[in-house]
A and B are shown apart, each in its own frame.
Chain A
Amino acid sequence: MFGRATIRARILYQVLATVLVLPFAFPLLWVVLVSFQGQGARANYAAVFTQTPFLQFITNSLIISAGTVVTVTLCTLLAGFALSKLEMPGKQLLFMAVVAGLMLPGIALTVPMFLIIRELGLFNNYVAVIGPLSAIILPMTVLLTRNYMRNVPDELLDAAKIDGATSFTTLVRVVVPLSRAIVAVVIVWSFLNAWNEFFLPLLFLTDPGMQAVTQIPTYFTSTYGSDVPKIFAALTLMCLPIVVTYVAFQRHFERGLTAGAIKD
């Protein structure tokens, strides 16, 4: 960026980079290293699978995440398309109403959600988590998608209309294929938020058979005491899916986060 660098400059940058980034590496390393202590890596990791309902937790989280991703993606594509390309009175108002949801700290909904879910008897029901979670994720994804879809050339849509396509067909056959990038971002973003969600499962999933992956650490300490290497083994396994997803979809993560953030 700043032109050809001298050897001295190279060393300086390298050292600086290392010094700055090392503190981030330590906690990650510690978790993995400690998980190898105690009774040894194999025993610890095996114990996570055999002595605890770990796989059950993972399955539950997959269900929640899948449900959220599907819900959010469908709602987002429909709404994003309409808000960017279709005519409707009050479109701006609707858009503001959706985006206003971004400002809400979910915690402010604790009491009403708890009371409503209890009235409806939806405890230990994944809908109680997927619903509110989707509602909280939607403002962001709709914002990103609508901005992205705006850039789809209107000529393509007009061409489709001339060919006799309905708005829905246009969405499916023209807009979505062109929006693959943002669809990937929406999927990754909602998966990330759903998989990492702690508060909603804490409130609404009390049956250990239904609990999510984020409740593993508390469940382990409550029931199995403080065998730290095993707990850390569980943490490593718990984070593995997300890290793998990130590595695989790195570009989409990054594009998604920056897309809505830098441009207006």
Chain B
Amino acid sequence: MTATTATTAAAGRSRLRSRRARLTAYLYVIPALMLIVGIIYVGVVYNSWVSTLDWNGLDPEPTQVGGGNYARLLADPIFWTALRNVALFGVVTILVQMGLGLLIALVLSGPVYGRGVYRAVVFVPVVLAPAAISAAFRQFFRPDGQLNALLDAVGLDALQRAWVADPQVALLALMAVNVFSWTGFSFLLYQAALSQVEASQLEAAQIDGAGTVRTVRSIVVPQLRMTHVTLALTGVIGSLKTFDIVFLITGGGPARSTEFLTTYIYKEAIMQFNVGYGAALSMIVLALALLLTAVQMRLYRLDRES
């Protein structure tokens, strides 16, 4: 009798302890959750409601338009232009940054003198404020700016352009700024991944007489898969989020040739008081982000299983 009561009591005490322990555990997560749920999740819900209004943000009586903003959106040529710009920008910059980052990582893993300096130069732009980079490049891109001067100095003056005034190259100019800013990130990830490639496999390949390029292609690159995936995922979200450099260098112009969804949202919601429309645009951006991430994750996981 005594033994059972003792065990039951002990069991009871430990159940009590574990419930308290669980509650305490929640307490730990609450601060972070308060911020994330309170700001992000609540924000998204509020945003979805505002997106059904025709509102200037100041009027105490907004008009309800249901899906009206979304209909307007689908028929809005500026929206599609912005979407096209973001897509083009995203694809090109992600590919270039990955390719360049990988190339630099490979080269710098070889017999290079002063490797630390090279690494620093490539990576420093990643930590610089986009606001600062934008201000600088705005000057570089002027018709009488440093870029055209450089092209002239190396005899490439045929390539000189009015970089931010010409709708055909303005987007290209922004892509260049992004590549400058972010290649260092790709480089860093590839460098770390390369250092993990097993030396033994490389030696084996060398013994088998494989050249450098062949070794890279068949042994090194496949082992970098995880890095490719990470860069692609972060790159897509990053492109959708790009605002600073567009806003500060071209302002979305000329003639909307560099209008991004982000700048369009800002202009509509904050500057033209079309808060409902801006909210609808924001929901689309969010939906795109979720969709693209889901698609990519499906893509990569399937690949892995096969």
Contacts and interface: CB of A to CB of B under 8 A. Distances in A.
State yes or no: do A and B touch (Cβ within 8 Å). yes
Size class of the B contact interface (CB-based, 8 Å): 35 or more
A262 B283 CA distance: 31
A112 B43 contact: yes
B107 A135 contact: no
Contact of B36 (A9, A98, A192): A98
Contacts of B39: 109, 113, 131-132, 135
A262 to B, nearest CB: 6
Interface stretch (A45-53, A151-159, A179-187, A228-236): A228-236
A215 B131 contact: yes
B150 A26 contact: yes
B57 A115 contact: yes
Contacts of A87: 18, 21-22, 25
Given A24-B180, A87-B25, A215-B131, A109 B122 contact: no
Interface of A: 1-3, 5, 9-10, 13-14, 16-18, 20-21, 23-28, 30-31, 34, 71, 74-76, 78-79, 81-83, 86-89, 91, 94, 97-98, 101-116, 118, 131-132, 134-136, 138-139, 142, 167, 192, 195-196, 198-199, 203, 213-218, 221, 228, 231-232, 235, 238-239, 242-243, 245-247, 253-254, 257-258, 261-262, 264
21 contacts: A2-B110, A2-B215, A9-B110, A17-B107, A17-B118, A21-B118, A21-B121, A24-B122, A26-B146, A27-B136, A86-B21, A97-B36, A109-B40, A109-B43, A110-B282, A112-B279, A116-B46, A138-B32, A232-B139, A242-B127, A242-B129
Interface of B: 18, 21-22, 24-26, 28-29, 31-33, 35-44, 46-47, 50, 57, 100, 103-104, 107-113, 118, 120-125, 127-137, 139-140, 146, 150, 180, 183-185, 188-189, 192-194, 196, 202-203, 206, 212, 215, 226-227, 230, 234, 237, 240-241, 243-244, 248, 261-262, 265-266, 269-270, 275, 278-279, 282-283, 285-286, 289-290, 293
